[in-house]
Amino acid sequence: MKQSVQEKLFETVKVGAWNLRTRTAMAPMTRCFADDQTGVVGPDVVEYYRKRAADGIGLIITEGTVISPQGKGNPGVPGLYSPEQITAWKNVTEAVHNEGGTIIAQIWHVGRLTHHELTGGLPPQAPSAIQAEGLVHRFRKPYDVPEEMSIEDIQEVVRQFAQAAKNARAAGFDGVEIHGAHGYLIDQFNSDLTNKRTDRYGGDFAQRLTFMKEVLTAVIDEIGADRTLIRFSLMKGGFSDNIMSNPEEAIRKFIEAFKEVGVKMVHPSTAMKDFRDVLADGKTLHQLVRKYWNDIIVGVGHLNPEIAEQAIKEGTIDIAAFGRPLIANPDFLHRIKNGEELIEYDVNKHLSTLV
């Protein structure tokens, strides 16, 4: 049996408030196995996360977990806004901690990417009343035209993000990741495709980051910068190929905003792109972020153990996040450490079951 040569990947490391067993993370992946009416997770979800903790994954980032009924964009997604949801998540966090793991909740609001039948009859919320093209994921109905958020609406959603972070800690989570990427609400404020506002939440790119900064400030004030991770992306409109026109300048503006509000940990997302894709100046997304950012970077983007090991050795990233391989292989780290073959992710099998 061939032994692993991924020495850096298996190092222990302190990241923020967390003492991680390895430099690995479970990337957040929408699974839709909560009760659709209540957003409450069950025993199958508990076991799903427990297995990954038992394997030695350093940081588990949950699937997107909505902060309000109006933030829901898929059937079966969990929430973190009701007492019943908090109680159910306690079973997950306890199971992960019993295995020696660390787990954070990805807190999420989909903005315009939903339908009133998913939000209890409420209209989608967005910076501007611009309808998204296509069909709601897994629901297969056209997106509704969203309501443009008032200042009061914006302030309420900022409060909901902070409350969700507080609820996450009450549920036993070690912190949160704020989902600021992939065309969801925070990203909708950041993008000129979806934000046509003329007040302080609109304007040039730096000004459009105002909503994101307010959410970050509120969450950090609630649980601390050492327990707060932010996921962001340069893909305008989510998973499209429409990358911001000047990637390096956009990254510089993002980093300025993060430093301004006291962020310590970032998770740049390549969306559906590869970790090694060059964006500008011969550098990848994560290399460009590292050029301006000296704190913690979680790397993601179709990583394999060899690419992840090299990126950590080079100092491009501190933590390597794996997605689909961890859905298909609950014993992912055991397999790579011992040179065992990985099970290929099968969309027909793994999308509809929890392994």
Q: Which residues are catalytic?
A: 184
144 φψ region: left (φ > 0), alpha (ψ -120 to 50), beta (else): beta
Q: What string of DSSP letters covers 104-123?
A: EEEEE--TTSS-TTTTTTPP
Residue 30: Cβ within 10 Å count:
18
Residue of 32, 93, 96 whose CA lies nearest to 354: 32
With beta carbons less than 8 A apart as the criterion, state whether 137 and 184 touch. no
Residue 137: Cβ within 10 Å count:
15
Q: How far is CA 32 from CA 44, 62, 104, 140, 206, in A?
A: 12, 12, 18, 15, 34
Strand 283-284 relative to strand 278-280, pairing: antiparallel
Residues in Cβ contact with 140 at an 8 Å cutoff, skipping those fewer than 6 apart:
none
Cα–Cα distance between 106 and 111 in angstroms, integer?
A: 15
